[in-house]
Structure 1
Amino acid sequence: MDRPRFRACFLHPRFWLLWLGLGLLWLVIQLPYRVLLALGRMLGKAMYHLAGSRRHIARRNLELCFPDLSDAERERLLKENFASNGIALFEMAMSWWWPQARLQRLAHIEGLEHLRQAQAEGQGVILMALHFTTLEIGAALLGQRHTIDGMYREHKNPVFDFVQRRGRERHNRDATAIEREDVRAMLKVLRGGRAIWYAPDQDYGRKQSLFVPLFGIQAATVTATSKFARLGRARVVPFTQQRLADGSGYRLVIHPPLEDFPGESDEADCLRINRWVEEVVSLNPEQYLWAHRRFKTRPEGEPSLYRKGR
């Protein structure tokens, strides 16, 4: 995919409000990091009260995944999750616009040797990540140290799409943005020995999914991870990220490649991935993206787990 280029039509009056908002966001993120964390928590508190639909979805997901917690414990976790979502807005802007040297000071990276070894051997890598609220800044921090290709979905607003792509790609000058539906292009770069950021933890519908347990609930789980690994002759390397509680930045861990993957069946592989999801999410549940209706698709005959319209 070609690099994003500025176009004269971006100056049309219908985009002025967006440009104003982006400009204000740029000004805000010039503040010290710890101030941005505090502002993000305040924003998250406002979102908790205003985003009713997302709050109900997140609360329901926590009920389903952590039934052993008391109502009060889940509510505290829910509020912390919204605080994390508020911080994520500033993290996104930081990853787009902060000077790279300033951004790099926040990175605490472990396991980079797994990516470097695969690269040296000409081996493609599926960098298996999850949808944490720190997704944007985690990818940026790792992208400063190692080239990562990514699956890409064009934003409906062309100005935001331009700003987003330009901000992301500045960390990976030789990276490839691959359309999410372009499987052929993904397999090509994997066979070319490159690393692709990929997250298998959301509900993409019944097609090309299997129902296997996730937190004890039958969840539609994509089988694409196994297919990409097999057809792309690639290693699957888990990648986790965490916003550190002491305000010193982010812990990024590239874990050893999965052994014997793909396995005997797609079902066994999906179950193995979901067990990993459970383990990783349980370590930092407040930083996970709970506002997604992860259990939206149900097995035949099962009722919805969410209230109508939510």
Structure 2
Amino acid sequence: MLHLIGGWVGRVFWLLSAAFRDEVRRNLGRALGHEPSRQQLLRVAEETGRQMLELPWVWLRPQEEVLSRIVQVEGGELLAQARQDGASVLLLTPHLGCFEMCAQYCSTHGPITVLFRPPRKASLAPIMEAGRARGNVQVAPADVSGVRRLVKALRSGEMVGMLPDQAPKQGEGVWAPFFGKPAWTMTLAARLSEVKGVRVIMIWAERLPRGRGYALHLSEPVAPIEGDLEARCVAVNREIEQLIMRCPEQYLWGYKRYKRPSGVPEPGAEAE
């Protein structure tokens, strides 16, 4: 029912917000390499609406009920093997599908710490944090203390989860290509991938049609995430692109991924 209503909410939002339409059309067109069709744009709007309505459900319903909606898992053996080997795991998921499902699923394999960036509306922060920090899931703030907790978790052989396609602040990113255009890209995921013995696993939760639940997809990076910091950031973006193109209509194209934070020079320009 939520997904049914969410589809119509997305369509209404599409009609009312010219800024949203422009952002989606521009970003999706860049990924596809051509002007998206009206049908593709409406699919994105519908999936965005479904995401808006499903998030409170994921946060507020009992964890057992939330996990019961995962009806298919592809690549789960990668995580199970890593845990069996005692290896630390860095789980990377873009704003694709129901990304909130990923940490809840991974917590069934042991302790996981996820990066928590408070929402713009402070009133939502307690709900979001409580909805995420359940069972084996712990949250770490997006500051220096939180980064230390993430590193400590990995060095202790635990799991860390994060959304590496968030637009970072000044001093927290580098310019790296994202669907052919420079995007200010967070360096944290790349830095964490350098922790000794860490295994990187890409994960995303596909929203199945007609409210049938979710299919989780886990995979190893297509190419190794290695090299210096900038090379690793480029590699992370490349892996995110691979996941998004498996189901582009479920990506959050309305997110201003290409914005330039205050104080950050233009791509290729030298900082003063």
State the TM-score, normalized to the length of structure 2: 0.83
**Alignment partner of 1:299 out of 257, 264, 267:** 267
Query: 2:200 maps to which residue?
Result: 236
Residue 200 in 1 paired to residue 164 in 2?
A: yes
Q: Are the equivalent residues in 1 in contact too, given 2:154–2:195 (CA < 8 A)?
A: no
Stretches of structure 2 that go unaligned for 5 or more consecutive residues are 261-265
Paired letter, 1:282: M
Distance 1:91 1:145 in 2: 24
Query: 1:268 maps to which residue?
Result: 231
Alignment of structure 1 residues 100-111 onto 2, 5 Å: 100-107=63-70, 108-111=72-75
Q: Are the equivalent residues in 2 in contact too, given 1:94–1:137 (CA < 8 A)?
A: no
Paired letter, 2:207: R
Distance 2:251 2:224 in 1: 28
- SS of aligned partner of 2:127: helix
Residue 130 in 1 paired to residue 105 in 2?
A: no
In structure 2, relative to structure 1, the CA distance for the partners of 1:84 and 1:210 (3 Å cut) is: same
Query: 1:176 maps to which residue?
Result: 138
Q: Are the equivalent residues in 2 in contact too, given 1:124–1:194 (CA < 8 A)?
A: yes
Cα offset for 1:156? 5.9
Cα offset for 1:101? 4.4
Query: 2:263 maps to which residue?
Result: none
Query: 1:94 maps to which residue?
Result: 57
- SS of aligned partner of 2:237: helix
Query: 1:83 maps to which residue?
Result: 46
Residue 56 in 1 paired to residue 18 in 2?
A: no
Distance 1:112 1:101 in 2: 18
Q: Are the equivalent residues in 2 in contact too, given 1:152–1:180 (CA < 8 A)?
A: yes
Cα offset for 1:215? 1.6
45-54 or 198-207, which deviates more: 198-207
Cα offset for 1:142? 4.2
The percentage of aligned residue pairs carrying the same residue is: 27
Cα offset for 1:190? 1.0
Q: How many equivalent pairs are there? A: 261
Paired letter, 1:114: L
Cα offset for 1:126? 1.0
Residue 284 in 1 paired to residue 247 in 2?
A: yes
Distance 1:244 1:175 in 2: 25
Q: Are the equivalent residues in 2 in contact too, given 1:58–1:290 (CA < 8 A)?
A: yes
In structure 2, relative to structure 1, the CA distance for the partners of 1:205 and 1:99 (3 Å cut) is: closer
Cα offset for 1:279? 1.6
Q: Are the equivalent residues in 1 in contact too, given 2:203–2:219 (CA < 8 A)?
A: yes
Q: Are the equivalent residues in 1 in contact too, given 2:91–2:159 (CA < 8 A)?
A: yes
Paired letter, 2:190: S
Query: 2:152 maps to which residue?
Result: 188
Max Rg structure: 1
In structure 2, relative to structure 1, the CA distance for the partners of 1:246 and 1:146 (3 Å cut) is: farther
Cα offset for 1:109? 1.8
What RMSD over aligned residues (CA atoms) do the two structures have, in Å?
2.6
